[in-house]
Amino acid sequence: MELRVLPARITSTTVTFPSRHLLPFAALVLVLTSVGILLAQAPGTKIPAAIEAAAVPTDLPTKYRPGPPTPRVRTNEKDVQGNGVTASCVTCHSTAKPNPQTRSAADLQQFHQGLKIQHGRLSCLSCHNDRDYNTLRLADGAPVAFPDVMTLCAQCHGQKWRDYTHGAHGGMNGFWDQTRGERLRNNCVNCHDAHVPAQPQVLPVLPPRDRISVMPKSSPEH
Amino acid sequence: MSTETIDSPPPTTAGVTRRNVIKGLGATLGLAAYAKAIAPLTEWKESTTVDEFLQQHYKELSAVDLQIVLSRLEREAKKEYGVDVHITDIKAQPGVKFGYALNLSVCNGCRKCAEACHIENNHDRGSNNSYIRVFEMSRGSMDMEKGNANYEHPVKQPDKFYLPVQCQQCEHPPCVDVCPVEATWKEPDGIVVVDYNWCIGCRYCEAACPYHARRFNWEKPQIAAHEINPEQSYLSNRIRPQGVMEKCTFCLHRTRAGRLPACLEACPTGARVFGNLLDPKSEIRWVLENKRIFILKEDLGLKPQFFYFFDV
Q: Given this model, what pLDDT does residue A55 score?
A: 57
Residue A15 has pLDDT above 80, yes or no: no
> pLDDT of B227-244, one tens digit each?
999 999 999 999 999 999
Residue A181 has pLDDT above 70, yes or no: yes
Q: Provide the total of helices (H) and of strands (E) in chain B, helices listed first.
A: 10, 12
Residue B274 near residue B255, CB atoms below 8 Å: yes
Handedness of CA B166, B172, B178, B180 (dihedral sign): positive
Write down the ipTM of this complex.
0.81
Residue A197 has pLDDT above 80, yes or no: yes
Chain B, residues 152-191, CB within 8 A of chain A, namely: 152, 154-156
Please give the average per-residue pLDDT across A210-222, as a whole number.
58
Sequence-separated (6 or more) residues with CB below 8 Å from residue B217 = B124, B201, B240, B241, B242, B243, B244, B245, B246
The vertex-B127 CA angle with B123 and B131, nearest 5°, equals: 50
Residue B249 has pLDDT above 90, yes or no: yes
Please give the average per-residue pLDDT across A107-123, as a whole number.
89
Q: Given this model, what pLDDT does residue A33 score?
A: 53
Structure-model confidence comparison of residues B116 and A113, the more confident one: B116
Residue A182 has pLDDT above 50, yes or no: yes
CB distance from B276 to chain A under 8 Å? yes
Q: Which of A173, A202, A209 sits opposite B260 (nearest CB)?
A: A173
Residue A9 has pLDDT above 50, yes or no: no
Q: CA of B153, closest CA in chain A: separation in Å?
A: 6
Residue B210 has pLDDT above 70, yes or no: yes
Strands B133-138 and B160-165: antiparallel
Q: Given this model, what pLDDT does residue A96 score?
A: 86
Query: Among residues B112, B151, B148, B107, which one has the least CA distance to residue B132?
Result: B112
Mean pLDDT is lowest, of A94-98, B180-184, B217-221, B250-254, for: A94-98
Q: Given this model, what pLDDT does residue A31 score?
A: 55
Q: Which of B154, B156, B258 sits opposite A177 (nearest CB)?
A: B258
Please give the average per-residue pLDDT across B142-149, as a whole number.
92
Burial B86-107 (b: 16+ CB within 10 A, else e): ebbeeebbeebbbbbbbbbebb
Q: What is the DSSP letter of A179?
A: T
> pLDDT of A26-73, one tens digit each?
555 555 555 444 444 444 445 455 445 455 667 888 899 888 888 888
Q: Given this model, what pLDDT does residue B18 score?
A: 93
> pLDDT of A144-165, one tens digit each?
999 999 999 999 999 999 999 9
Mean pLDDT is lowest, of A37-41, B7-11, B229-233, B256-260, for: A37-41
Q: CA of A217, closest CA in chain B: separation in Å?
A: 10
Residue B273 has pLDDT above 80, yes or no: yes
Q: Given this model, what pLDDT does residue A36 score?
A: 47
Q: Given this model, what pLDDT does residue B44 score?
A: 62
The secondary element (H helix, E strand) that includes residue B134 is strand B133-138
Q: Given this model, what pLDDT does residue A38 score?
A: 45
pLDDT over 70, % of chain B: 94
Mean pLDDT is lowest, of A101-105, A151-155, B60-64, B281-285, for: A101-105
Strands B184-186 and B215-216: unpaired
Q: Is there a contact between A171 and B128 if contact means CB atoms under 8 Å apart? A: no
- Residue A12 — pLDDT band, cuts 50, 70, 90? very low
Q: Which of A199, A210, A215 sits opposite B127 (nearest CB)?
A: A210
Residues of A in contact with B130 (CB under 8 A): 206, 208
> pLDDT of B70-114, one tens digit each?
999 999 999 999 999 999 999 999 999 999 999 999 999 999 999
Per CB distance under 8 Å, which residues of A are interface residues toward B? 159, 163, 166-177, 179-181, 183, 186, 191, 199, 201-210, 212-215, 221-222
Structure-model confidence comparison of residues B183 and B39, the more confident one: B183
Bridge partners, residue B117, by sequence: none
Task: List Cα–Cα distances, A135 to A123, A129, A142, B203, in angstroms.
Answer: 16, 6, 10, 61
Please give the average per-residue pLDDT across B143-161, as a whole number.
93
Q: Which of B111, B112, B255 sits opposite A176 (nearest CB)?
A: B255
- Residue A24 — pLDDT band, cuts 50, 70, 90? low
- Residue B158 — pLDDT band, cuts 50, 70, 90? very high
Q: Given this model, what pLDDT does residue B54 score?
A: 86
Q: Given this model, what pLDDT does residue B259 score?
A: 97
Q: Given this model, what pLDDT does residue B52 score?
A: 82
